[in-house]
Structure 1
Amino acid sequence: MDAYKPVVHGALDEAELARLGLRADHLIDFSSNINPFGPPESVLQALRTLNPAPYPDRSCLHLRRHLAAIHHCQPEAVLVGNGANELIHLVARALGEPGATALVVAPTYGEYAYASHLAGMRVIEIRSTVGNGFQPDLAELLLTIERLRPRLIWLCSPNNPTGVNLSVTTITELAHTCALHQGWLILDRAYLALGRDETGHDPLDHNSPSRLIRIYSLTKSYAVAGLRIGYMIADPDVIAATARFQPAWSVSSAAQAAAAAMLHDTGFLATTLPALWDASSELAQNLRQIGLTVWRAHLPFMLVHCDNAALTRQQLLVRGCVVRDCTSFGLPEWVRVAPRRPSENARLLAAWRDVHARTQV
């Protein structure tokens, strides 16, 4: 695969739809891991009252102060970005070194490898499989770190696309091993807030090892992916080194206003997450009743086994439903499905029953 080829993502692609003669407003998107019960009214109100004339706050000072209070750190330990994706690329540029090794714990989000390649790094994957419950082999990971001494180690937990969540003990042990060999553990926490037992706090706030960098997203749980807002937490010197690569005004006034509204809205996640998990459980059960194999772990989205992920996606797409072909994750026999509201899930089930019935003929 071309290391510099753009990464495949979920969500609706207007160029693809135009080629197929389809309209986005006729489709239901199950390919994006976004809370279907958002955005909250508090965010919409903040956007309605926003004055778009002034430049944004370049340093996101007020937002960083709020995030620092949540995570029990200094504002200097927080960097706000144009989505978690920007931060991934900034970290790779700031800390990566041409010719050095980047270790990716896979299957996982494709931008880690892409950003590392763009920084001139050699990318090595260590993969888990469904046979071991998509659980990374900790012993193998530690030995690989000791052998390769990677400059960057990319870990997504809870993981996209498998939903597997590693314990704080495991993450801490990995971070300590990275530190022993002068590496950095970059931990993607983009989906932490969607966990069934979400508390609003990351247990790593109280036990964050050195050389651990944590990246968070605010767009998934609050359904504001179009605004692009994320942040990272690390030692202040790492934040300063990373911020040097960030363009001025990277985070818009709209994104900052929406983030402030989200963080002050304490009721939205408490209300919607139980409904999201109920919808997820019902959808998984109904998919299994069709005869499909479903994998779901610590997140509401799920993997569904099929003979050919690309074909299954196409068959469902022409029936009005978009799922995520996981071939780009190295899982060509799986599609990822993010639950939506019950009425929308019913449309997906009807489409899948039709596909399944036709393949059984």
Structure 2
Amino acid sequence: MPTVAGVARNAGPTQALRQAAPPQPLAEGAFAQALAGALAQGLAEASAEVVAESSTDAESATRAHAKSPGQPVATVRGRAAEHPAAAELQARPEASASVSARHVHGGPDALGVARHDFSTNANACGPCPQAAEAVAQADASHYPDPEYASLIADLSSEIGVYPDRIILGASASECIARLTAAVASRAGPAAPPRVWVPRQAYGDYARAARAWQLPLASQPGQADLVWHCEPASPTGQGVPELAHLDATHPEQVWVLDAAYAPLRLDGHSSLSPARREQVWQLFTPNKALGLTGVRAAYLVAPRSALEVGSPAWQLAQRLRALAPSWPVGAHGVAMLKAWLQPEVQQWLQRSLDQLRRWRQMQNAMLQAMGWVLQPSDSPYGVARPPVVPSPAEGGVADAGASELAAMLAFMRARGVKLRDTTSMGLPGWVRLAVRPPADQEALRAAWHAFIAWRPSALAVST
């Protein structure tokens, strides 16, 4: 699929906050409890005195959010709207902690869809009109072809690989779980297979390993299953070490998660075409299309999977055997077919140009607010708000974690959601997708409201 090389990387962090380091992870369920407190106790009401200082656009957006049907979280003149989830979370914080420990993601939560959602990596220009129309026209009254012959033929032709190398999945997460299960199932009486995941990574890699009680390896060379994602999540950065990977051991399974490759704004893949032929590749276009609610993905097996009896061929057979019937529904099939259409790819290229412009605006705003940014090749990245101390500042990590949880809960109550990256191996930081100017202004207003209501939060890092 096409990717685009583009403009320079983000500017560096502000001088006063240049030394960045993560604090200790938040206590399990801390955000859920802080969010409950933010809603039940009305933190937004405490900032009523600064609401008038917010921009007219942000205030109008807040009022509109309160009136919008299907939007359960609202702030009207600084007062948090009541929501049943708030009482539930406060009454049973242990339940919310358990849920968050199992599934930690951006996007909708128990409070619904945030009006200004920076927490997912979906293309902010989406949904792609042509793809959305194709999904809307999908025939959900009939089963798809259980062999997906037409879809696999189309993918094979577009990608330029033999059909036998393509394996469909219900989603990227389902493919991660099934690949892990397939590797675990080949274990004999010897030690169980080991899994390596990047230090900062999507939590489902390790989660799938834990489900099969597979130990995590400290180095890729010690693992039977190795995960990489490029551009990486949560940082949005390239992974230069991929250029030197040794994927020649026949029993070792290397997987490149390319979920964000179509959204790359700068740079290029660290893997040469020849090296990509040695690894398993995982693709899902729903993020690039702005259709994250439509679930479908596909794996491309290494070239060696065409050799009958080879380890890659055997793994491909296990993957197919582990798949349920019809893993991809009619809407997923429609999305994957639309993804291959020239007009959809043209829309994607235009959206990348827009995302570059919005990224420049958003980074400038965050830096002006004193947030530390890491460079990113993608329309998402990580930032450290100045409520979290760096080692050079000698702050207390627990205090920084507490203030971060309070900030996230306060913003969520105002309809602005960010993604805490603790579960992704980067405590003390948040992931933000690039969003349109109106969302950026809402984030700016929420930040200034928070520090006006809780000025002591900044004392952690000053």
- Give the TM-score, by structure 1 length: 0.83
**What does 1:207-226 correspond to in 2, within 5 Å?**
207-210=275-278, 212-226=279-293
Counterpart in the other structure of 2:229: 156
**Structure-1 separation of matches of 2:288 and 2:410:** 29
Residues 298/42 of structure 1: CA separation in 2 closer, same or farther (3 Å cut): same
Contact kept? 1:189, 1:214, Cα under 8 Å: yes
- 2:399 matches 1:322: no
Q: Deviations over 1:159-207 (max 9, x none)?
A: 100112124xx4253243xx337321111111111101489x9965454
What is the Cα deviation at residue 354 of structure 1?
A: 2.0
Residues 216/204 of structure 1: CA separation in 2 closer, same or farther (3 Å cut): farther
Counterpart in the other structure of 1:312: 407
Aligned length: 326
What code does the residue aligned with 1:267 have? Q
What code does the residue aligned with 1:88 have? I
Residues 203/269 of structure 1: CA separation in 2 closer, same or farther (3 Å cut): farther
Counterpart in the other structure of 2:213: 120
What is the Cα deviation at residue 66 of structure 1?
A: 2.3
Q: Deviations over 1:232-288 (max 9, x none)?
A: 111342333212111001100111112211220231111111111211221111011
**What does 1:147-186 correspond to in 2, within 5 Å?**
149-167=222-240, 170-176=241-247, 179-180=248-249, 182-186=251-255
Counterpart in the other structure of 2:299: 232
**Structure-2 separation of matches of 1:316 and 1:5:** 21
What is the Cα deviation at residue 5 of structure 1?
A: 5.1
What is the Cα deviation at residue 298 of structure 1?
A: 1.2
Residue among 434, 439, 451 paired with 1:339: 434
**Structure-1 separation of matches of 2:194 and 2:353:** 41
- 2:376 matches 1:297: yes
Residue among 54, 75, 80 paired with 2:168: 80
Residue among 439, 444, 450 paired with 1:349: 444
Counterpart in the other structure of 2:257: 188
What is the Cα deviation at residue 214 of structure 1?
A: 1.0
Residues 48/102 of structure 1: CA separation in 2 closer, same or farther (3 Å cut): closer
Query: Higher relative contact order by CA 8 Å / sep ≥ 6: 1 or 2?
Result: 2
Contact kept? 1:39, 1:223, Cα under 8 Å: yes
What is the Cα deviation at residue 61 of structure 1?
A: 2.3
Counterpart in the other structure of 1:251: 328
Bigger-Rg structure (1/2):
2
RMSD over aligned Cα atoms: 2.4
Contact kept? 2:183, 2:193, Cα under 8 Å: no
What is the Cα deviation at residue 226 of structure 1?
A: 0.7
**Structure-1 separation of matches of 2:246 and 2:450:** 45
Contact kept? 1:172, 1:208, Cα under 8 Å: no
Question: SS at 2:223's partner residue?
Answer: coil
- 2:159 matches 1:71: yes
**Structure-1 separation of matches of 2:175 and 2:280:** 11
Contact kept? 1:71, 1:202, Cα under 8 Å: no
Contact kept? 1:42, 1:262, Cα under 8 Å: no
**Structure-1 separation of matches of 2:433 and 2:107:** 11
Contact kept? 1:174, 1:185, Cα under 8 Å: no
Higher percent of residues as strand: 1
**Structure-2 separation of matches of 1:198 and 1:233:** 23
- Give the TM-score, by structure 2 length: 0.66
Counterpart in the other structure of 2:180: 92
What is the Cα deviation at residue 60 of structure 1?
A: 2.5
Structure 1 residue ranges without an equivalent (≥5): 18-22, 126-143
Counterpart in the other structure of 1:11: 107
Deviates more, 1:190-199 or 1:100-109: 190-199
**Structure-2 separation of matches of 1:63 and 1:160:** 28
**Structure-2 separation of matches of 1:55 and 1:181:** 37
**Structure-2 separation of matches of 1:66 and 1:181:** 29
Counterpart in the other structure of 2:144: 56
Structure 2 residue ranges without an equivalent (≥5): 1-27, 29-97, 306-312, 389-400, 457-462
Residue among 117, 121, 127 paired with 1:33: 121
What code does the residue aligned with 1:290 have? M
Residues 205/243 of structure 1: CA separation in 2 closer, same or farther (3 Å cut): farther
What is the Cα deviation at residue 86 of structure 1?
A: 0.6
**Structure-2 separation of matches of 1:185 and 1:319:** 42
What is the Cα deviation at residue 154 of structure 1?
A: 1.2
Q: Identity of paired residues, percent?
A: 25
Residues 106/53 of structure 1: CA separation in 2 closer, same or farther (3 Å cut): same
